[in-house]
Amino acid sequence: MIIISNVFFKADKYTLVLVRFQFFMIIFTQSNKLLHINIIIDMVLQSIPADSYQIHFNEKGFDFLNELLKEKKYSKVFILTDSNTNAYCLPVLLADIVGDYPFEIIEIEAGEEYKNLETCQQVWMTLSDLGGDRKSVLLNLGGGVVTDLGGFVAATYMRGIDFVNIPTSLLAMVDASVGGKTGVDLGNLKNQIGVISNPLGVIIDSRFLATLPAQELRSGMAEMFKHGLIHSVSYWEKMRNLKDLDISDLDSLIYDSVIIKNNIVKQDPTEKGLRKTLNFGHTLGHAIESYFLSAPHRERLLHGEAIAIGMVLAAYLSYRVCGLSRATLEEVKLVLEEYFPKINIHNQEITEILNLLRFDKKNSHGKVNFVLLQTVATPKIDCNVEENVVLDAFEYYNR
């Protein structure tokens, strides 16, 4: 279902009641440890140059957006939201836009199950019905589903219109914000349809994290743990020793995570080598996510929850195949299970998950390719693993 609304908004950037406030977010971990995040939005972070665009943070992001809308004089300004971001994030966005613009708001249902071609078709038809042309712009306001789907819609509508991504979830901020990957799922198979298409810019604003439930915050943390494991010993150390955080810590952790992914993508934009390391934990993680998405007796796992399981499994495979130390394996398992509740996976489910591996996009010549670790920050790509070792990995995870 698509909901359309018209907004004619006139405001300067200081009119929003919701700006500049202090609040606490609490993440409950499996061990009942509390992670307090005391947020005051004051930190100034420099924009990060990506491939053909820049990633802007907090105030600088809205300075960029206001200048873009002023200069481009778009025929139509569309904002794509889901049912959550329309309620909680759209007012923040609109109040920080300076000028008189007739916005067309397109709202889709929230959830991975709506990240499909049917939703794309509905959005394409809505753009057409509302007079969208090649001089239009699409602002994607939401988590990874909205930015992935919205980017794909923009890249293909009339062979491409401008778009800007405004990620509102922690996962989208540290992952989907970089690299230009857009796309949707094919049935329950993750991200099978899509193109690489860069936005004009990305805006990361920490205020949007106030709208997230604890489960969504944890989901985003999985990709941050991954960035440390594949690229930076010091970042891994920071992430595994999380205690009380204030905004400078949180913003800097997000910032450093974006820098890590951006540096990898810039060196290998077409994913021929180094960029493959970003798939650590994703081969089995995506299969687990797909299985839980379609299994009627199972509650759906968020992306980060599935990837956290995938990283524990990949760490075990690394121990068996690539010489990762037992101590590091145990450390990875201990840290991730502190933040992500263990999900017992039964033997029949493991069989079905392994069957889904044949659809993984990283496969070549009929072989499943894994990204594994020799040590923290020393990944190895295109690793083949015997099925009995993968089964041992699930047994290790289930202990």
Model confidence pLDDT, tens digit, residues 16-52:
222 223 223 333 343 344 444 444 445 579 999 998 9
Same domain flag for 392 and 303: yes
pLDDT at position 244 is 54
Same domain flag for 284 and 253: no
- Average pLDDT on 122-133 reads 98
In a domain, 222, yes or no: no
Least confident of 18-27, 128-137, 144-153, 317-326: 18-27
Same domain flag for 246 and 371: no
Domain limits for position 54: 3-213+231-261
Same domain flag for 338 and 247: no
pLDDT at position 95 is 95
- Average pLDDT on 247-267 reads 91
Question: Is the distance from CB of 342 to CB of 351 less than 8 angstroms?
Answer: no
Q: Strand runs (DSSP E) across 47-133, as ranges?
A: 48-49, 54-57, 77-82, 99-108
Q: What is the 8-class DSSP label of residue 327?
A: H
268: confidence class by pLDDT, cuts 50, 70, 90: very high
Same domain flag for 310 and 247: no
pLDDT at position 363 is 81
pLDDT at position 3 is 80
In a domain, 266, yes or no: no
pLDDT exceeds cutoff 70 at 388: yes
Q: What is the pLDDT of residues 192-233, one digit of tens each?
A: 999 999 999 999 999 999 989 989 999 999 999 999 999 999
**φ, ψ at 180 (rounded to 5°):** 75, 10
Same domain flag for 362 and 244: no
pLDDT exceeds cutoff 90 at 369: yes
> To the nearest whole percent, how much of the chain has pLDDT over 70?
89
Q: What is the pLDDT of residues 342-368, one digit of tens each?
A: 999 999 999 999 999 988 877 877 789
pLDDT at position 102 is 86
Same domain flag for 10 and 86: yes
Question: Is the distance from CB of 167 to CB of 177 less than 8 angstroms?
Answer: yes
Mean pLDDT of the chain: 90
In a domain, 171, yes or no: yes
In a domain, 162, yes or no: yes
Domain of 344: which CATH number? 1.20.1090.10
pLDDT at position 17 is 26
Same domain flag for 244 and 315: no
In a domain, 66, yes or no: yes
pLDDT at position 10 is 39
In a domain, 221, yes or no: no
Q: What is the 8-class DSSP label of residue 301?
A: P
Q: What is the pLDDT of residues 296-315, one digit of tens each?
A: 999 999 999 999 999 999 99
In a domain, 274, yes or no: no
Domain of 49: which CATH number? 3.40.50.1970
Spatial CA neighbour of 166 closest among 44, 47, 302, 65? 65
Same domain flag for 257 and 286: no
In a domain, 322, yes or no: yes
**CA 209 to CA 214: how far, in whole Å?**
10
Same domain flag for 85 and 133: yes
pLDDT at position 94 is 96
Residue burial 297-320, b: 16+ Cβ < 10 Å; e: rest: eeeebbbbbbbbbbbbbbbbbbbb
Same domain flag for 133 and 256: yes
Tell me how many domains the chain contains.
2
Same domain flag for 116 and 44: yes
Return the SS3 of 376: coil
- Average pLDDT on 183-193 reads 94
